[in-house]
Amino acid sequence: MEWSEWYSLTIEALAKHEAKNSGVYRIALRDAEVQYPNGPSPVIFIGDAPIRRLTERLKDHIRGWGNQGVYRYFLKGDTLIWSNLITGDLTYTSKRALDDFKAAHGAYPECNGNTSEFEEKGGS
């Protein structure tokens, strides 16, 4: 799957780089990595939102209305970045992105939490 370049996860940067292609997105640490069983990755969260709402969904993370694990990184002062899926494959969902991440890294991203909850709800 093809992802966009990384952008700073700030209100100002979102005004310049609005998500236009896909509802699947990743949030990562700009200057650090999380140690996963199969190796490190800066990715801490994978989610989705309808295309017209993706920028607003990203703003929710900044405001603390989204995933609380992501918001805790803001409170600690970590710099976060985001990218979105730009592939034409409309069947590629956040569930598939999470499964791909787990296959590569041996675990789901840190802030996606308990995967059994995610699977029961059918998405993020």
What pLDDT was estimated at residue 79?
A: 95
What pLDDT was estimated at residue 70?
A: 93
The answer as to whether 44 is a domain residue is: yes
DSSP string across 50-100: -GGGHHHHHHHHHHTSS-HHHHHHHHHT--EEEEEB--S-TT--HHHHHHH
Whole-prediction pTM: 0.85
What pLDDT was estimated at residue 27?
A: 97
Count the domains in the chain: 1
What pLDDT was estimated at residue 26?
A: 95
Instruction: Count CA within 13 A, CB hemisphere, residue 38.
Output: 10
Residue ranges of the chain with pLDDT lower than 50? Answer: 116-124
The answer as to whether 1 is a domain residue is: no
Where in the sequence is the domain holding 99, given as residue range(s)?
7-121
